[in-house]
A and B are shown apart, each in its own frame.
Chain A
Amino acid sequence: MRRLPEVSEREPDDALLRRWQAGDANAAERLVKRYFAVVFRFFRSKLPAEAEDMTQKTFAACLESASRWRGEGSFRPYLLGIARKQLFASLRRRGRTEKVFDPLAASVHGAIDPGIISPSVGVAAREHDRLLLEALRRIPIDFQITVELFYWEDLSLEEIAGVLEVAVGTVKSRLGRARVMLREQLEALAADPQTAETTMTNLQHWAGALRDALDRPE
């Protein structure tokens, strides 16, 4: 379900950012509160133990590079682009040096010590969503991000392309491939075919939306 942002009675994002740059703590607080949940759940589905830390780093980095964002497009993709870079930096740091970090090959599940307990993500309180989340964590990271941005964040294909720094066509093909990978993971993870099916049904809805999106002229 798309939720349109309410524009009335709200100062636009770029104005808040400029004021934050100028040292206005109030503006900063409002901006952070506006987008905290977005960034936080981005990290929660990948590095839950460091979600708070990484969220803070993302906002700090966003302030630093504020002069580079000239208000084109929405603030959210800009912020998520920074978040993605922070994620990769963190994953690179914890990886072994001989392995090159490849977001198209490495999954979060593989990158994190399996001993760490992954908590239930508040957003995905329902079990099927949790199963989906487990499956998502097992596909390569950039595919996971692509799916999440589309499914949960309701970003447009163009916006997703901006975050991932690829062409729109690439986004489409990734979404398609991701669907296949997810199905595989769900079938492996689900306790019984019934559960897998139910979850896939959710995916179908999503897939339907995807189809719509895919069919939309660019």
Chain B
Amino acid sequence: MTDDPTPAAEAPTIDADPSLDGSFDLGARIALGSVLARLLGGSHSTRLGRYEVIETVGQGACGQVYRARDAQLDRDVAIKVLLPGHFHDDDGVEQRRLLDEARALARLRHPNVVEVFDVGVADVARHADGTTQHGVYLVMQWLPGETLARFAASRPPWRTLVEAYCQVALGLQAAHDAGLVHGDVKPHNAIIDRAGLVHVVDFGLARDAEAPSGLRRTVEGSGSRTVATAIVGTPLYMAPEQHRGELSPHADQYALSVSLWQALVGAAPFVGDSLVELAIAKQRAPARPRGTGIPRALWAALGTGLAVSPLQRHRDLRAWVDALRAASRARPRWQLLGAGAALTAALGVGGAAATRGWGAHPCDGDPLELESLWDDTARQRTQAALAGLDHPDAARLGDAAVAALDEHAARWRREWAQACHSDAAPDVALRVHACLSEARDAFALAVSRANSVETDGLDALESKLAGEPPRCLEHAARTAEEQAEIAALEQVAAALRRDLEGGVADVDLVAIDAAIVRADALRRADLVVALQGDAAVVALRRRDLEAARERVHDAVLRANAAGLSAEALDLMTRLASVHGQLRETEEATRILAIAREHAARHGSTDEQRAALDYAAGVVASFSREVHDGAEAHYARACETLIALPDPTSKVMHCTVSLVLGALDRGDVDAADRHLAAGVAASERVRRPSAGMYVEFDAAAAEIAARRGDFASAARAARRNLERERARGPGHASLPAELATLAEFEAAQLHWDAALDAWNEAIAVASASDRPPFDQIAIWQESRLGVLLTAGRFDRVPAEVSRIIATTEGDAEQVEAFQTDARLMLAWSLWATGDADGARREFARLSIEPSRVDQLPAFADRLRLLLDPGAPAARIDAFLDAARRRRAARAGFGDALSLRDATEPVLDALAVAMVAARAVPGPGGAPRDAAALRAAYVDHARALAMIRRVAFSAAPQQF
């Protein structure tokens, strides 16, 4: 750099190429290189001294900007060439002034001001007659990134925008301190790089006191500035005094305030069709925008920056920054929700809460850029383009590619939603959003790649499109330790999900809770929600409905607060189901309504809608009032799921519910139809879950049993048993499968097979970490029933003791089992001929008078039978009554509890034994085998119904 405006020996010159005809300036020379490269391939770059110019980047207000490579320092640079043609500068005065200013800029070192490496004068044009032209050039930092104009268009949170503009302000302040004024501050003149740092560029070096004289001044008054080609200042952002030609640092403050206002609101504070109108509009203070959620203090601070008189603005940009940052610290209302907030208040549903409800958050919805990039129109276009390629598998590959892009877009939206809702510090937020912008560009690239793929590229397209998910929250905000910890937590969450899908029951919830606490501390709301939601499923599988409810409730609140709307919907659905299973019908219905509203507002997939229907079915089936409505809900859910082109295993749940509902009504054919439809749909399931086939076979077994075809039922049960065994130990379903098989064997009067199965079931269940005592008691009772029916009375007392031991000290609902067990003991003693023993046991039952009517009719029966003087007529009458009772309960549909369910079992047993006069001596065979078999059919039906009730009480994990 020299003070002499004539070019020094090493100053860059445009290379003289004799094969170039005509006059060339640097821009033309570079364009030539670019055109040659595009037409012919190869490299045709232009050298400007030691810089190799790669491409034209854009038009600044005062000259061309190029991207070049500095081979010596091995970095990219931006070269701005100021063409002198703007000014009449015959004696080089103007050029000297430009050089001075450029050098002042080069001396400035501030992170928010673009760095200038080199300044000088060079030949920048060569005319046809061989004369050359000089121009001032600047070599600057190359800044890949986007302008604040584009950044604002992607609607980042307002605090992020304020922070970005504060960085601009600090850069400008540094320039002001060095005696420079920018003169053309606007969103296009600030660039945010990938690291989230904002740089001021394009200092108005071309400003001059006199307007270019060639063009008419369009504003009246002395010294007015023409803006016909916007050479100096951009009218929209110009301070009022700038219209008159006065330029001071306060003008930069004004323009900056206009820019930030525009970014926050989406429109400039002053508008006008002509320069005159605009100037007039600027004389009035702009109206404060309403309903933005931005504190008043911020608008007040900006308003000061927009004062008509420069002296009434902030003292300097430092003061501007202070005022804005102070105003930013006010918290908006929706972030004040505590963790204990009631669900409806948190979800902002109904009533006064609606004004600050969920939908009004500025982060809601998708940022505009992604929406137009990948909306329905774009999707269809890409799909059509791919399907239309001349490839045998075009449709399928096209669909796969579109699905990959959907996934890509969904991942971006999730990151964006999370970033938008995170309460990270503003500078961190800025980095995150810069990262998101880059990810969005990557997505745009992916879309255009998909749109322009050729036939032979179609096969590889899907794998090319499956890119890395954006990790902006991670990279921007985390230390290396934090990142490692998060990776570990993600593993935990993934492992939990896998275990659940595989049906594993042994999950350490203590460890999961610890993981939740860590994930919360690291502000990974998505992990917290996933872990908590899955922990709730674990609780459900352990039949701890209350714990499940608490967890799901917590997960819903967190998902909402974090903007994870899809997860929130799934969790709300699950919460409704859990409330339903706890018979909290009113609450469940309310949650369903909230969930539907949420789905309407945020959108939902077909699967999610089906899940809502299914949950409504669960709620109805547990509710005494609306019990019958359940089937309609299940049917709707199934309809939706079966109609999906790509159904998932969830189609199994609703199918089974429909099958059981139909069986409940006694409509076996309908049950068959539902099952057939479900099985047919399941063939289209690409990734069947482990439990899908099990459930289908279980339903098939149920139907067969209902038809009395216990052989087929047993076969289906055996299939399921093999599947369970194949999955290895640790699965909760093995005992249940064994018990199911046992019943079907018993129904075929295969006593030994039945007893073996029950024995194993009870043994396995008892040996697990959390034995399901109530279920074990049922199986023990079933086993006892078989023993009695089979005449193995010698085993009865021990069996009864076992039942009593099992149910001792456990849930109160099994107290009834104890009563029944003692009754059975009494019965068996009587059956073995020990009438006295029977009477003793019977008397031992301390039956409180108030509970007499709660005693099963069985007790009456026993009392009758224990009466040695009971006449045959009385016994017949008793049998008749018992048969009638049985007939009245033919469908067993009104038994809603395990307690209710045991009645028919005992009735059936009693009928069987009395009818068969099964009072042989040890080893004797019953006299009326047919009646006994018929009775046992009833018994099996009753037990099946018990199982169904037990199934309903089992975790609904849809």
Q: Which residues of A contact B (CB under 8 A)?
A: 3, 25, 28-30, 32-38, 40-41, 44, 48-49, 51-52, 55-56, 59-60, 63, 115, 117-120, 122-128, 130-131, 134, 188-192, 195
Interface contact B64-A127, CB-CB below 8 Å: no
Q: Chain B residues with Cβ under 8 A from A36's Cβ?
A: 20-22, 28, 31-32, 35
In the assembled complex, B340 has its CB within 8 A of some CB on chain A:
no
In the assembled complex, B61 has its CB within 8 A of some CB on chain A:
yes
Interface contact A120-B83, CB-CB below 8 Å: yes
- 10 more contacts with CB within 8 A, not counting A33-B17, A36-B22, A191-B226, are A32-B32, A36-B21, A36-B28, A37-B22, A37-B23, A122-B24, A127-B88, A127-B212, A134-B214, A192-B213
Q: How far is the CA of A56 from the CA of B19 in the complex (A)?
A: 18
In the assembled complex, B479 has its CB within 8 A of some CB on chain A:
no
Interface contact A34-B217, CB-CB below 8 Å: no
CB distance from A34 to the nearest CB of B (A): 5
Q: How far is the CA of A19 from the CA of B666 in the complex (A)?
A: 89
Q: How far is the CA of A130 from the CA of B59 in the complex (A)?
A: 17
Q: Which residues of B contact A (CB under 8 A)?
A: 17, 19-25, 27-28, 31-32, 34-36, 38-42, 44, 56, 59, 61, 63-64, 83-86, 88, 125, 128, 133, 211-217, 226, 229-231
CB distance from A54 to the nearest CB of B (A): 10
Q: How far is the CA of A51 from the CA of B40 in the complex (A)?
A: 18
Q: Chain B residues with Cβ under 8 A from A126's Cβ?
A: 85
Q: Chain B residues with Cβ under 8 A from A29's Cβ?
A: 36, 40, 44
One of B25, B35, B59, B84 near A52 (C-beta < 8 A): B35
Q: Chain B residues with Cβ under 8 A from A41's Cβ?
A: 22, 28
Given known A56-B38, A122-B23, contact A33–B32 (CB-CB < 8 A) = yes
Q: How far is the CA of A117 from the CA of B230 in the complex (A)?
A: 7
Interface contact B61-A191, CB-CB below 8 Å: no
Interface contact B64-A125, CB-CB below 8 Å: no
CB distance from A37 to the nearest CB of B (A): 3
Interface contact B59-A59, CB-CB below 8 Å: no
Tell me the nearest residue of chain A to B35, going by C-beta: A56
CB distance from A21 to the nearest CB of B (A): 13
16 contacts between A and B (CB under 8 A): A25-B41, A25-B42, A28-B40, A36-B22, A40-B28, A41-B28, A117-B61, A119-B64, A120-B85, A122-B25, A127-B88, A127-B212, A131-B215, A189-B215, A191-B211, A192-B213
Interface contact B229-A117, CB-CB below 8 Å: yes
One of B35, B36, B63, B85 near A125 (C-beta < 8 A): B85
Q: Chain A residues with Cβ under 8 A from B226's Cβ?
A: 191
CB distance from A147 to the nearest CB of B (A): 19
Q: Chain A residues with Cβ under 8 A from B41's Cβ?
A: 25
Q: Chain A residues with Cβ under 8 A from B61's Cβ?
A: 117
Q: How many A-B residue pairs have CB under 8 A?
A: 121
CB distance from B67 to the nearest CB of A (A): 14
Tell me the nearest residue of chain B to A191, going by C-beta: B216
Q: Chain B residues with Cβ under 8 A from A119's Cβ?
A: 59, 63-64, 83
One of A30, A60, A124 near B19 (C-beta < 8 A): A30
Given known A32-B36, A56-B38, A118-B229, contact A125–B83 (CB-CB < 8 A) = yes
Interface contact A127-B213, CB-CB below 8 Å: yes
Q: How far is the CA of A63 from the CA of B40 in the complex (A)?
A: 12
Interface contact B27-A55, CB-CB below 8 Å: no
One of B17, B32, B83 near A122 (C-beta < 8 A): B83
Q: Chain B residues with Cβ under 8 A from A190's Cβ?
A: 214-216
CB distance from A35 to the nearest CB of B (A): 7
Interface contact B133-A37, CB-CB below 8 Å: no
Given known A56-B35, A119-B64, contact A33–B40 (CB-CB < 8 A) = no
